[in-house]
Structure 1
Amino acid sequence: MEQSKAGTKAGRRSRSSVRRKKRADYYDYSLVAVIILLICFGLIMLYSTSSYIAQMNYNDDMFYFKKQALISVGCIVMAIGISMLDYHLLIKLTMPLYGAAIVLMGLVKTSLGHESHGAKRWIQIGSLPQFQPAEVAKIAVIVCLSYMIVQMGKTVKTLKACMVLAGLGGLQGLAAYVLTSNLSTAIIIFCITAGLIFVAHPKTRPFMIGLALIAALAVIGVMILSKTLETSSSFRIRRILVWLHPEDYASGDGYQTLQALYAIGSGGIFGRGLGNSIQKLGSVPEAQNDMIFSIICEELGLFGALLVLVLFGYLLYRLFFIAQNAPDLFGSLLVTGIFIHIALQVIFNIAVVLNLMPNTGVTLPFISYGGTSIMFLMIEMGLALGVARKIRFLEPEFIM
C-alpha cells in the first residue's frame, strides 16, 4: 500500500515535469511578413503609378520601379542585419548620433546641399546617392529621448525633466526647419518628442489640456489667416488657403489636390482596375511620391484603401506588441518612438490626400517612391526587430 502511494506521488512529479518550462528567444516573423507585404504592394502600385511618366521622361517604363526595387531588397537585408545586433549598442552612440544629425542638416546650407522641386533638403557627397539628413534627426530624437528618459528614472515626472526632454527634441525639430526648410519633418519630430514624454510621464491630464488648447488655437489661427492673408506670398500660407478653398486655386497650387480628389472619387468601391488609372497620366503631378494613395483609391477603390489601412494597422499592432513586451524600458521606448513616427506619417499622408489638412510633403511609408525614406524606415524596422529578438517567453519542454 505504501509502495503504491509512493508510486502515485512519483507519477505526479513525473507528469508535472512534463510541463517544465525553459526560456526561449523570440523573433517577430509576423512583423517581417507585414513589412515585406507593404513593400511588395508598394512596388506594384509604384510601377502602376509611374510607368507612363517614366516612359515619357526616361524611355523606360520601369525606371522608378527598378530603382525602388533594388534599394528595397538591399534595405530588407540591412534591416535583418541590424536586428541581429544588440540594440543597447545605441546607448554609446546616443550623443554622437544626436550631434551628427544636426551637423548633417547643417551641410544642406553648404555646397553639398542639393535642390529638388524647389526645395533644398538633400545633400550629395561625391558619387554617393543623395539623401535627406532630416531623416537622421527622427532616429536621433527617438534614441536620445529614450536614453534620457531611462537615465532620469522617476524624476521624469518633474517639470524640469520634461523641459529638458522637450528642449532636446525641440532643438532637432528647429534645426530641421531652419537648416532644411522642412516644416513637415519638424512637426513630426515635435510630435515624437511630445509622444515619448507623454508615454513616460505618469500623468495624463496636463497633456490632454495642452492638446485641447493647441487645437483651439490652431482653429482660431486658421480662421484668422483665411480672412486676412489671401494676398500673402508665403508658400506655407498659400498651402493653408489651398486647403481651405482648393477650388479657388484650381489652376495653380490647388491643382494637385483637386486632381487627387477626382482620382479618389472616381475609384468607387472596387476601383477602375489595377493599371487603369486616368489621373496618373499627368493629371496628378508626382503621383508616385506623396499622392500615391490617390492612385491606389482610383485603381483599387475603397477596397484597396482599406487593405492599405489594414496592413498599416497590423504593422502598428506588432510594434505595440514589441513595445509592451520589451525586456527593458529603453527597448520599449525605442519601439514606441518608431510606432509614433510611422503612425504620424501614415496619418499625415492620407489626411493630405483627402484634403483633411494642408499639404505637408510627407510620404506614405514603404509605398511612396524615395530611397531615403525606405532606407531610414528599414533602419527603424531593424531596431524594432532587434528589440523583439530580446523578448523571452516561457515555452513548454516535454520530457519523455
Structure 2
Amino acid sequence: MGKKRERTGSKPTRYFDYSLLFIIIFLVCFGLVMLYSTSSYDGQLKFDDSAYYVKKQLFATSLGFMAMYLISRIDYHVWMRFAGVAYIVALLLCTAVIFVGQEYNGQKRWLKLGPLSFQPSEFAKIAVILFLAVLISRMPKQMKKFQTVIKVLLIVVPIVGVIAYNNLSTAIILLGIAVVMSFVASPKYAQFFALGGLGIAFGSIFIYLERYRAERIKIWLNPEDYEKGYQTLQGLYAIGSGKLFGKGLGESMQKLGFLPEAQNDMIFSIICEELGLFGAVCVILLFLLMLWRFMVIANNAPDLYGALLVVGIMAHISIQVILNIAVVTNSIPNTGITLPFISYGGTSVLFLLSEMGLALSVSRGIRLDGPEDL
C-alpha cells in the first residue's frame, strides 16, 4: 500500500492532510446546526430547553476534538502495543452491557459511568480497526491464503457475536470493517465472493431465528401495515416534502412530534425536508470527499500498518453512511444506524473524532519529494 520513493538530493517534505481536517470541521459544525434545528422542539418539550441536545453534543464534540488533536500528534505506531489490550477491553465492556447495561427506548446498549452514559460498541469499532491493522500487517504474504482470511475473520467473531445480541447494526459494521481490511490486504479477490455467499446464508438464518428480526423484514416491505412502520413512513414524508431545495432551515414539520427520535437515526430525513435534494446531495458529496482523502492517505502511507488503519476507518465511515441513508430511504430494513458526525450521540462523535486523529496521524508520516506527489 505504501508507495516507495526514490531518494533525491532534496529533503522530503512533511505532509499533513488539511483537506481532511477542513471536511471534518465542516461536517461537525453542520451536524451541530442540523441537530439544533432537529431537536429544539423535542428539547423544549421534554427538558424545557431547546438547546438541551446540542449542549450535550457540543460537550462530547469538544472532548472529541481534543482527543483528535492529541492522537494526531502522536506517532500512530505507538498504538500497536495497545491494540490487543484494546480489543480485549472492548470485548469485556460489550459483554458487560448484556448483564448490567442501561436500557433506553427498549435497547440495552449503554453502560452507566456516574452521571455519564457510555456506549462500548463505539469503542469496539476503533479497537477492532487497531487490532486487525496490527494482525494483518504482521503477515501480509499469508493473506493470499483463504484459510488465513478465515482465521482473521474468526478472530472478530466473539465481539461481533456479543454486540449482535443487542445491536445487530453495529455488529454488521464491525464485520464489514474486518472484511474490507482483509480484502484490501489480500491479492486474491475471488475468495471473497464465496465469503459473501456464506455471509448472506448465515445472515438469513440469523435474522429468522429471532421473531423481531423477521418482523423488521415485513415492516420494511409493507411499513403502512404495521404500527412499527410509523417512523419509516414519517421519514419518507419528510424526504418527499423537501422537494428540490427544501422548506428552509428550521422549517421542518415532521420534527414537531411526528417523526420519533428525529435527532438520532432519522436526521437525514430532516436534512432532506429542510434543505431538499440539493442539501442531501451536498452532504453525500462531503462524505465522498472524506473517503477520497482517506484513499489518498492510505495509498501514500509509509507502511502497511498505517494504510490498514486508514482503510479500516474508511470502511467504518462508508458502511455507516450507506446503511443510515439506506434505512432512512427505506432501501433496507430499519437497523438503528446513526449518521456519522451529524446524528445525536456523544460516544459516537467522541470516538469518530478519535478515529480522525488516527487518520491525520498517518498523514503526518507521509514524506513528499515534491508538491506534485499528492
What is the TM-score of this pair, normalised by structure 2? Answer: 0.93
Residue 365 of structure 1, aligned match among 329, 340, 347: 340
Partner of 1:103: 92
Partner of 1:308: 283
Checking the alignment, whether the CA contact within 8 Å between 2:161 and 2:171 is kept in structure 1 is yes
Residue 164 of structure 2, aligned match among 150, 157, 177: 177
Residue 244 of structure 1, aligned match among 221, 225, 228: 221
Residue 179 of structure 2, aligned match among 194, 205, 212: 194
Question: What pairs up with 1:45-124 in 2 under 5 angstroms?
Answer: 45-111=34-100, 113-124=101-112
Residue 258 of structure 1, aligned match among 233, 243, 247: 233
Structure 1 position 316, deviation (Å)? 0.8
Question: What pairs up with 1:1-400 in 2 under 5 angstroms?
Answer: 21-111=10-100, 113-127=101-115, 129-178=116-165, 181-211=166-196, 217=201, 234-249=211-226, 252-395=227-370
- Deviations 1:309-342, CA, capped at 9 Å, x for gaps: 0110111111111111100000000100000000
**C-alpha separation in 2, matches of 1:288 and 1:101:** 27
SS at match of 1:366: coil
> Which of structures 1 and 2 has the bigger CA Rg?
1
Structure 1 position 85, deviation (Å)? 0.4
SS at match of 1:115: strand
SS at match of 2:256: coil
- 5+ residue gaps, structure 1: 1-18
Structure 1 position 210, deviation (Å)? 3.9
SS at match of 1:122: strand
Structure 1 position 20, deviation (Å)? 5.5
**C-alpha separation in 2, matches of 1:142 and 1:383:** 11
**C-alpha separation in 1, matches of 2:59 and 2:299:** 34
SS at match of 2:219: helix
SS at match of 1:61: coil
SS at match of 1:277: coil
**C-alpha separation in 1, matches of 2:305 and 2:9:** 31
Checking the alignment, whether the CA contact within 8 Å between 2:140 and 2:185 is kept in structure 1 is no
- 5+ residue gaps, structure 2: 1-7
Structure 1 position 209, deviation (Å)? 4.7
Structure 1 position 109, deviation (Å)? 3.2
**C-alpha separation in 1, matches of 2:95 and 2:202:** 30
Structure 1 position 175, deviation (Å)? 1.9
Q: Kindly indicate whether structure 1 or structure 2 has the higher relative contact order, using CA contacts under 8 Å at least 6 residues apart.
A: 2
**C-alpha separation in 2, matches of 1:186 and 1:218:** 13
Aligned-partner residue type, residue 141 of structure 1? V
Checking the alignment, whether the CA contact within 8 Å between 1:170 and 1:193 is kept in structure 2 is no
* Aligned-CA RMSD value: 2.0
Structure 1 position 27, deviation (Å)? 1.0
Checking the alignment, whether the CA contact within 8 Å between 1:272 and 1:298 is kept in structure 2 is yes
SS at match of 2:228: coil
**C-alpha separation in 1, matches of 2:95 and 2:37:** 37
- Deviations 1:233-277, CA, capped at 9 Å, x for gaps: 82222211110111111xx10000000000000000001111110
Aligned residues: 363
Query: What percent of counterpart residues are identical?
Result: 50
**C-alpha separation in 1, matches of 2:223 and 2:107:** 22
Of 340-349 and 157-166, deviating more is 157-166
